[in-house]
Structure 1
């Protein structure tokens, strides 16, 4: 592996540019993860998105760009990198059309009739208005307040319409990790039911076809012990509280989810995290994929 030359070994944040020489053929992302271990994959993707990486003088935005021996890769550490992250969420990707964030548990996605407090939407609105008061953001989908993970917002009404009208085709993968009560015996399965909402905002699940909105959830067991199971869950439909209701349906409520039958509350939050969002970019047509880490407090239950 190539080590940056001595004058560039100072703390990367203070260096305006870092120059790296390619010593063996590699994919750009693999090369950068090895060369700049202090930065996460999402931070490096953000640099690519903000046109801060060039190879032999040409700006490169594709993470799988092939590198050849002898090429010079330059990372420009501009102010964009140093821009303060808004409180309560982390921006993992931003371009002129969309913003992808990782939301923490406890933060509302958007305001409701009863709650006008700070939301992911209001935080991001303030964020884009700091650059230009005319800037706006537009909602594409939402996560429950107690669910953490990846969310996407549009930066114009046109992009919102493009994505919402083609949501089924545009979104290639939405997957979650969830910790449920008890040991799930069936290693993988699919849950199908029809959901309706009561006046008290509780979703009810029915096995009778067309008795509500059809909801389909696929799950796979990743880890388990006698008390809990960690599942990977993929949604075919995105109904309100879908995963939470379907976990109750199979007799394994999401931990911390009193609303849908949970008795255990071991981590002080709901055991649900939106881990992967993959979609076709509405303008470039490129496949964009964001994957976050499984929350440590989930994994600690299985150590």
Structure 2
């Protein structure tokens, strides 16, 4: 349904490498239409879709008038042609159960905590309509009569990128999803990530604040804009140095907000792209030596961890039913652990010379 499609555009970017947009909805404005903000106009036309969702879709460049993207304050005029253009073709988005193994850290009648491996898409999208985390969850809960994977009132409470590993919470009941969603909205949850980034930090900890919005030069990336720019969504990331390797640094990132690609975009913004992050330029040799042995060392590192070195390590929240604090931690996956060990050995060898 259209309202579900609009909802999905807020959560994560899809992988249409050509940056192509596909028409999902077309409205021709009546001849007698009085001037009206497009977000209000579309809210009246589309049932079960909030004005806030439409505003965010417009701000992301998905709402077009007469073949050009418009902002949510655009006023519709008679005979305007309004289209909803998304970065994936129309597709039956019904979620079917698929027998895919899950690493379930915790489960009770209200929720599940899952440790997602890198490479697994969280939700069906362009080019990834099967084999996703929600397909696996649907299979795991197929014998639970009250769980409908196509019901937006249950399921994923938040998301992480395809090539990011780590912890996610899934709500099994509407009450759990509502109460957990409120905690995420009010920023009372605790989430920390471990990331290996390019470069060394002068300070041991810091704070990054900058709005996150689509990069106007590359719509598959997010960019950082000034907090008072009115562009994008407010985003704050706190970081702390865990381990220094000279040319790269292991940091802990704690999120105040949860925006698409937030850590990846924020770290690039301050000059420290995530190691091996192709989308944000971290898969190039950005720091270090010109000698052939160092160049080969980095290439070997990229082979060990051929994705952004980012892991959602901890997740904490208040249980939606019992009211108790729940805190979970997951170990670094093998690729990141091997990557760090390789840097540790190199640093140890350098210190012995």
* Structure 2 match to 1:283: 321
Secondary structure of the 2:167 match is strand
State whether residues 140 and 154 of structure 1, in contact with CA within 8 Å, keep that contact through their aligned partners in structure 2.
yes
* Structure 1 match to 2:223: 204
C-alpha root-mean-square deviation of aligned residues, in Å? 1.9
Q: 2-side partners of 1:135 and 1:193: how far apart?
A: 38
Q: 1-side partners of 2:227 and 2:321: how far apart?
A: 40
Q: 1-side partners of 2:257 and 2:156: how far apart?
A: 18
Note the C-alpha offset of 1:88: 4.9
Q: 2-side partners of 1:134 and 1:193: how far apart?
A: 41
Secondary structure of the 2:206 match is strand
* Structure 1 match to 2:163: 146
Secondary structure of the 2:180 match is helix
Note the C-alpha offset of 1:298: 4.3
State whether residues 318 and 324 of structure 2, in contact with CA within 8 Å, keep that contact through their aligned partners in structure 1.
yes
Note the C-alpha offset of 1:132: 3.5
> Unaligned stretches of 5+ in structure 2?
1-98, 149-153, 286-301, 346-353
Q: CA 1:170/1:163 → structure 2, altered by over 3 Å: closer, same or farther?
A: farther
Q: CA 1:172/1:166 → structure 2, altered by over 3 Å: closer, same or farther?
A: closer
> Unaligned stretches of 5+ in structure 1?
1-85
* CA deviations over 1:122-148 (Å, ceiling 9, x no partner): 10110110x346533511000100000
Note the C-alpha offset of 1:180: 0.6
* Structure 2 match to 1:224: 244
* CA deviations over 1:63-117 (Å, ceiling 9, x no partner): xxxxxxxxxxxxxxxxxxxxxxx74530010000000010000001111144202
* Count of residue correspondences: 217
Q: 2-side partners of 1:161 and 1:297: how far apart?
A: 39
- What's the TM-score, normalizing by structure 1? 0.67
* Structure 1 match to 2:264: 244
State whether residues 192 and 255 of structure 2, in contact with CA within 8 Å, keep that contact through their aligned partners in structure 1.
yes
* Structure 1 match to 2:197: 180
Q: 2-side partners of 1:88 and 1:224: how far apart?
A: 35
Q: CA 1:287/1:134 → structure 2, altered by over 3 Å: closer, same or farther?
A: closer
* Structure 2 match to 1:135: 147
* Structure 2 match to 1:107: 120
* Structure 2 match to 1:293: 331
Note the C-alpha offset of 1:157: 2.2
Secondary structure of the 2:139 match is helix
* Structure 1 match to 2:86: none
Q: CA 1:208/1:141 → structure 2, altered by over 3 Å: closer, same or farther?
A: closer
2:206 is aligned, of 189, 192, 210, to 189
State whether residues 154 and 160 of structure 1, in contact with CA within 8 Å, keep that contact through their aligned partners in structure 2.
yes
* Structure 1 match to 2:177: 160
State whether residues 242 and 250 of structure 2, in contact with CA within 8 Å, keep that contact through their aligned partners in structure 1.
yes
State the 4+ residue runs in structure 1 displaced beyond 6 angstroms. Answer: none
